Amino acid sequence: MVIGDDIKKMFASFAPETHKAMDRYTSFRVGGPADLLVLPQNIEQVICLVKTAKKIELPITIIGGGTNVLISDKGIRGLVMVLTRLKQGIEQTTPLINTGGDSPDRIYLTALAGESLGHICRFAADSGLAGLAWAAGIPGTIGGAVMMNAGAFGSDMSQIVTQIEVLDLTTLETVVLPRNSLHFSYRKLALENSIVLKVKLGLTRADAETVKDEFYRNLKTKQSTQPVSQASAGCFFKNPPGSKSAGFLIEQAGMKKARCNGAMVSDLHANFIVNHGNACAKDILDLAGQVKKSVYEKFGINLKEEVKTIGN
């Protein structure tokens, strides 16, 4: 889509970039151009951008840290909002007295959707707050983590989210959704047509050393079992039901180290596809297709993608 001067003018106050390559906004380091790219810095800007795009029927795509997405080589049409600048620190609150049910050890952390999950996780570890140490080393934003119901070491976001604030893209209203109205499942929050703006987490005051130990132990495990320094989007496939992980099945199907041009199945963790520097999205998708085929032929199991493919 060609973005004309009239449209550029409408978005001028948000310093938009046109035809902007998206590779630097994803951990896979691939992705074609966004027609119109904007990085809003506060909730008011997000709302204003959405209203402007809706007025002229521009499609809207939301990217957080870009650590669980594969953006197509042809890029993304319409307005792309990268939310990594939508942050204003972490607010820590205690329960109101006499509200009933809340433990006195309960502490709430609230952050805008663009705050990095790593920052919140480290803040919790440094403050002696238990409940988030499992997230040590998971990249991306808190908004993306909620949408993906990110998880590790047997825990996930669904266990600590107490409420989120969203912008409903149909009504253009902001709505606060309490935990009991949110439907989380494995690596998924069922939330259509909305932008997560703010997240409130419920953690527990605990022994500071114990929390820190758990945080560093998890970080070390992650660093030694996953190719964290290479370009990837984390686990490419969801673990299928049953006791065998996707990584085990891929390895047993002989696909460890399989390549398609610059894309390769990691030799450290077979459920990671890594970009050796010159892969394009098609290489990664072709390799993922070969992996799925091999696993299906050997085990009759149809792996489902965890990574979200976005764009044309």
Ligand X SMILES: Cc1cc2nc3c(=O)[nH]c(=O)nc-3n(C[C@H](O)[C@H](O)[C@H](O)COP(=O)(O)OP(=O)(O)OC[C@H]3O[C@@H](n4cnc5c(N)ncnc54)[C@H](O)[C@@H]3O)c2cc1C
Q: Kindly list the residues in this chain that would bind ligand X in the complex (CB under 6 A).
A: 27, 62-69, 83, 113, 117, 138-141, 143-145, 147-148, 150-152, 195-196, 226, 228, 232-234, 308
226 vs 294 by CB, closer to ligand X:
226
Partners of 166 in the beta sheet? Answer: 175, 196
Minimum distance of ligand X from residue 155's CB (angstroms): 10
Instruction: Look up 173 and say whether it is catalytic.
Output: no
Minimum distance of ligand X from residue 75's CB (angstroms): 15
Contacts of 250 (CB under 8 A, 6+ apart): 237, 256, 265, 270, 271, 291, 294, 295, 303
Sign (positive/negative) of CA torsion 162, 221, 292, 277? positive
144 vs 311 by CB, closer to ligand X:
144
Residue nearest to ligand X (CB): 144
103 vs 312 by CB, closer to ligand X:
312
Minimum distance of ligand X from residue 30's CB (angstroms): 13
CA distance 24 to 107: 36
69 vs 125 by CB, closer to ligand X:
69
CA distance 152 to 132: 10
Active-site residue among 235, 251, 260, 280?
235
Instruction: Look up 235 and say whether it is catalytic.
Output: yes
Active-site residue among 115, 121, 165, 187?
187
Minimum distance of ligand X from residue 6's CB (angstroms): 27
Collapsing DSSP states into helix, strand and coil, what is residue 143?
helix
CA distance 197 to 175: 10
Task: Identify the burial level of 257 via C-beta atoms within 10 angstroms of its C-beta, where 0-12 means exposed, 13-18 middle and 19 or more buried.
Answer: exposed
Minimum distance of ligand X from residue 93's CB (angstroms): 21
Task: Identify the burial level of 189 via C-beta atoms within 10 angstroms of its C-beta, where 0-12 means exposed, 13-18 middle and 19 or more buried.
Answer: buried
140 vs 262 by CB, closer to ligand X:
140
Collapsing DSSP states into helix, strand and coil, what is residue 56?
coil
β-strand 155-156 against 60-63: which pairing, if any? Answer: unpaired
Instruction: Look up 280 and say whether it is catalytic.
Output: no
Active site residues: 187, 235, 306
